[in-house]
Structure 1
Amino acid sequence: MKMAMTNRANTKFDCIIMSTLDDLVPQNHLVRTLEDTIDWKFIYPLVKSLYSDVGRRSIDPVVLFKMIFINYTFGINSMRKTCEEIKVNMAYRWFLGIDIYEEVPNYSTWSKNYERRYKDSQVFDQIFNHIIRHGIDNGFIDATTVFGDGTHRKASANSRKATDKEVEIVAKTYEKELLDEINEDRIENGKKPFESLTKKEYINDEETGETVELKKTKHIKESTTDPECGLFHKGEKQKCFAYTHMTMCDKYGYVLFNKVAPGNMHDSAIFSEIYEELIHKYVNIKNVCLDAGFNTSPVCHQILSSGRTPFLPYKRPMTKKEFFKKYEYVYDENLDIYICPNEKDLHYVTTNREGYRVYKSSSKDCEGCPYLSKCTKSKKHEKVITRHVWEADKEESNHIRHTDEWKTIYPQRKQTIERVFADAKENHGMRFTRLRGLQKNQHESLIIFSCHNLKKLGLSKQRIGLI
């Protein structure tokens, strides 16, 4: 069948559209779902104290927050570009309640309001928590089992613009509990208790002449652009300054908790800091599912001692190649000794400040041992094995790995927390940040995951006909 070519060179652009804004927005557009999922008026009481009772009228705070939701829900990742999109996008105008002839707020309006009003407030946490409570109250969120992991987000900082800085080593959150456990163990074995987990050293102050305690420090690379981020390097990945997002979600993929930390902090250290806050916020948590990076004695002890069950995977031993693995040395709990593959005993020596009980073999037993080359390179022919004072909690966690419940729950990580990160990075602009500072990145992450949760809530409600 032949068809003649159409030429629209004379198309008119001055046509008049006789239609309402509501008619121009498709019924299945995502903005309709976002609008119907929650009552956006909940924002007014949250920000009322941040505004004056007198003076000229401000831009509606709901409009401002809806603008930032458009920004991250649709992955625009730039307020300037978001404002330009709102000008020409009828769906965005409908969502904000701005008619065709009304002026769109300037892109700098949000940043000025943030600096002057919202920066030091709790409004971002409150918005995030309101959406979570709405999901829990309507039965969409189940916090019985939580899935956690950390992901890195590239910071707005050049890795070559950095200085070497000496910083004081920060005490771990569980330091006091660990010290008590160590001292109890040392006293039982006739050892002198420690005053602290770090060996105290003293120096004379040249200015005052007084003797002062020397603080334990370490050297780090600090960005001159954003000093609050951290240098991240893992495996074959390129070194870069980044922020770590420690995130917890439920079995349906709703984000329940998020904490931003410098990129040079280990995931397990961040988890230890936020765990008490997490279980206080969600008291009905029964199971905590994490990856191999959290399979440490302190983390296992923290979860088990709180009455929850840790679901952790197998962690490969870090032993050198062609050497015996630690599990090949059998621990006898009754005799408190380790038995080597040659059936010789390693006896308790001491408990160190790191919380490890030290076991050593006899040099006489090891000197003529046929397995010496696979056991130790010690010049004294002594094999040393350490066992953490909370090692029993780690072993209990490893036993849980063989239960049917673990085999059902743990595989869900890939469709929960891993999928959350994939969605946030692919659709909501979480691959890198243009903001600098922990506080700003914490607020941004709360908005990103609020968008994530709100979208999930809306689509879930839509599927069952609630909206």
Structure 2
Amino acid sequence: MMGERTVMQEALFYSFSLEDHVPADHLLRSIDRFVDLGDLREHLRPYYSETGRPSIDPELMIRMLIVGYCMGIRSERRLCEEVHLNLAYRWFCRLGLDGAVPDHSTFSKNRHGRFRDSDLLRELFEMTVSRCMAEGLVGGEGFAVDASLIRADVYRRRSVPGDEGLPPDVTGRAVREYLEVLDDAAFGGSTPVQPKRIALTDPAARWTAATREGAFYSYSTNYLIDLDHAVIVDVEATTSVRQAEVTAQRRMINRIQERFGIWPHRLVADAAYGSAANLAWLVEEKGIEPHIPVFEKSGRNDGSFERADFTYDHDDDSYICPSGNRLRRSNRNFSTPRTGIDKDGSIRYRARQHDCEGCALKPQCTPNAPARKVTRSIHEGARDMARDIATTDAYLVSSRERKKVEMLFAHLKRILKLDRLRLRGPSGARDEFHLAAAAQNLRKMAKIIPMQSRAAA
């Protein structure tokens, strides 16, 4: 007998529990163990009025944002729709079946107001770092640092040449933030070089052609990670230039030392962080071993002797050329002593002209000049230390471990779908990077510490 569809009849009473309908192995159920928002209200209390109508619960908004960034839901409008329909999202946000989901405009209002004024999203990220440390996922021995370009939310044709500057009639929140960070070493003050073009909708975004793709406007997200389990211990938003990324590295190391008391033994990075000044800062000021390739400019492509062919004599403070002659800071005495240090922090060692004129190796050494010159950085000791480390087996291990930070960037763009910013201005980039890094740490803990082991413990 063919069955017939039964007509649904509304029951008078329902016995329904969200707890029973969220799978035990659901990602949000595992993440929920590590979300501690107990201090959130006290942190925000100074930013709320004591009178008036009660506001939307800030913990609800933060939990919804965690859902959005953990599950790759980029739009806040779509996030509200998903939380309204998805039982697991409702369970994580502590909403019952009849719980009202806030309007998407509530997020914008709070983000531009209380959340940024109180630096709440920074506190949320640091909460995940503290929890990772409590779970034993942060060793504190070896760190890695790197930066990745994230496209800015701008219309590339609405721009002006960089040497013209912004027109006086351009206004907006992103423009005000751009003017505020003109002297910041992580943004406008990072380099005296003018950008080729300036976007009118987000002037702080940098016009860059650093990838194989066509040039685009971007910000850089900078990660400092612990190498034990690839936990992100700090994150910083900067403009997309090398000098700003080195500045971010210093800020992050200082911040974790002050905030968490972590002093890494070694730092792993690529050659972009191998400048003499940065290596000296790591070695001399922080006591950190630089597992970093040295940023070299002494190479020659004409076949002549390079600086590496000259031997430095520490006791005499001079270089010895392949012919045995010495190159000194100065070959004559001055009535007023001179330091011999250039503005770029380098010292020039010069050979005597009559030594080079009769030298048989002059065509291989200095064919186009009467005497050879060799430059040496005032931070050459730190550079030599980095070169010595690069010959060890530990350096090979560090080079392999550095891929962990690159994998985090791939996860950020492919899984969390943060390959393009949705918010504008330095504050918008900072908010998105904090939330994304917090989501990655939460997902990391959920993956490493399974529910079964915690239940057994």
TM surpasses 0.5: yes
Provide closer, same or farther for how the CA distance between residues 42 and 268 of structure 1 changes in structure 2, counting only shifts above 3 A: same
> Given the alignment of the two structures, is residue 257 of structure 1 paired with residue 234 of structure 2, yes or no?
yes
Provide closer, same or farther for how the CA distance between residues 70 and 169 of structure 1 changes in structure 2, counting only shifts above 3 A: closer
Counterpart residue type for residue 340 of structure 1:
C
Structure 1 residue 364: deviation in Å?
4.0
Counterpart residue type for residue 271 of structure 1:
Q
Provide closer, same or farther for how the CA distance between residues 172 and 153 of structure 1 changes in structure 2, counting only shifts above 3 A: closer
Secondary structure of the 1:31 match is helix
Structure 1 residue 329: deviation in Å?
2.3
- The partner residue of 2:313 within 326, 332, 335 is 332
Percent identity of paired positions between Structure 1 and Structure 2: 23
Matches within 5 A, 1:241-320: 241-251=217-227, 252-266=229-243, 267-281=245-259, 282-305=261-284, 306-313=286-293, 319-320=299-300
CA distance in 2, matches of 1:170, 1:55: 40
Could you tell which deviates more after superposition, 401-410 or 53-62?
401-410
Once the two structures are superposed, residues 307-358 of structure 1 have per-residue CA deviations (whole angstroms, 9 ceiling, x without a partner) of: 2222223656662424333312222222222233444433214211111001
CA distance in 2, matches of 1:394, 1:159: 41
Counterpart residue type for residue 117 of structure 1:
R
CA distance in 1, matches of 2:182, 2:201: 23
Structure 1 residue 12: deviation in Å?
7.4
> Given the alignment of the two structures, is residue 121 of structure 1 paired with residue 118 of structure 2, yes or no?
yes
Once the two structures are superposed, residues 24-58 of structure 1 have per-residue CA deviations (whole angstroms, 9 ceiling, x without a partner) of: 22111111112222333332222222222222122
Residue of structure 1 equivalent to 2:328: 347
Counterpart residue type for residue 249 of structure 2:
F
Structure 1 residue 14: deviation in Å?
5.0
Residue of structure 1 equivalent to 2:49: 52
Query: Contact between 1:150 and 1:247, CA under 8 Å: does it hold in 2?
Result: yes
Residue of structure 2 equivalent to 1:231: 207
Query: Contact between 1:149 and 1:246, CA under 8 Å: does it hold in 2?
Result: yes
Structure 1 residue 458: deviation in Å?
2.5
CA distance in 1, matches of 2:357, 2:211: 38
CA distance in 2, matches of 1:382, 1:55: 81
Provide closer, same or farther for how the CA distance between residues 78 and 321 of structure 1 changes in structure 2, counting only shifts above 3 A: same
Residue of structure 2 equivalent to 1:34: 31
Counterpart residue type for residue 406 of structure 1:
Y
Counterpart residue type for residue 350 of structure 2:
K
Gap runs ≥5 in structure 1: 1-6, 174-215
Matches within 5 A, 1:368-387: 372=362, 374-376=364-366, 378=368, 380-387=369-376
Query: Contact between 1:25 and 1:90, CA under 8 Å: does it hold in 2?
Result: yes
Provide closer, same or farther for how the CA distance between residues 275 and 14 of structure 1 changes in structure 2, counting only shifts above 3 A: same
Query: Contact between 1:166 and 1:218, CA under 8 Å: does it hold in 2?
Result: no
Matches within 5 A, 1:144-293: 144-160=141-157, 161-165=159-163, 218-221=193-196, 222-234=198-210, 236-251=212-227, 252-266=229-243, 267-281=245-259, 282-293=261-272
Residue of structure 2 equivalent to 1:85: 82
Provide closer, same or farther for how the CA distance between residues 80 and 314 of structure 1 changes in structure 2, counting only shifts above 3 A: same
Structure 1 residue 170: deviation in Å?
6.2
Structure 1 residue 377: deviation in Å?
6.2
CA distance in 2, matches of 1:171, 1:106: 35
CA distance in 1, matches of 2:345, 2:201: 38
Structure 1 residue 233: deviation in Å?
2.7
For this pair of structures, how many residues does the alignment match? 416
Once the two structures are superposed, residues 199-257 of structure 1 have per-residue CA deviations (whole angstroms, 9 ceiling, x without a partner) of: xxxxxxxxxxxxxxxxx965333322211122223264432221112210112111001
Query: Contact between 1:166 and 1:219, CA under 8 Å: does it hold in 2?
Result: no
Structure 1 residue 111: deviation in Å?
0.8
CA distance in 1, matches of 2:398, 2:364: 38
Residue of structure 1 equivalent to 2:107: 110
Matches within 5 A, 1:440-459: 440-459=428-447
Counterpart residue type for residue 289 of structure 2:
T
CA distance in 2, matches of 1:261, 1:11: 61
Could you tell which deviates more after superposition, 150-159 or 405-414?
405-414
CA distance in 2, matches of 1:13, 1:124: 49
Residue of structure 1 equivalent to 2:381: 392
Counterpart residue type for residue 319 of structure 1:
G
> Given the alignment of the two structures, is residue 356 of structure 1 paired with residue 340 of structure 2, yes or no?
no
Structure 1 residue 172: deviation in Å?
7.4
Counterpart residue type for residue 224 of structure 1:
L
Residue of structure 2 equivalent to 1:97: 94
Could you tell which deviates more after superposition, 363-372 or 101-110?
363-372
Provide closer, same or farther for how the CA distance between residues 220 and 370 of structure 1 changes in structure 2, counting only shifts above 3 A: farther
Query: Contact between 2:271 and 2:292, CA under 8 Å: does it hold in 1?
Result: yes
TM-score normalised per structure 2: 0.81
Provide closer, same or farther for how the CA distance between residues 354 and 14 of structure 1 changes in structure 2, counting only shifts above 3 A: farther
Could you tell which deviates more after superposition, 135-144 or 384-393?
135-144
Counterpart residue type for residue 269 of structure 2:
L
Query: Contact between 2:234 and 2:252, CA under 8 Å: does it hold in 1?
Result: no
Matches within 5 A, 1:20-31: 20-31=17-28
Structure 1 residue 116: deviation in Å?
2.9
Please tell me the root mean square deviation across aligned C-alpha atoms, in Å.
Answer: 3.1
Query: Contact between 1:322 and 1:374, CA under 8 Å: does it hold in 2?
Result: no
Query: Contact between 1:229 and 1:437, CA under 8 Å: does it hold in 2?
Result: yes
Could you tell which deviates more after superposition, 232-241 or 431-440?
232-241
Secondary structure of the 2:218 match is strand
Structure 1 residue 118: deviation in Å?
1.3
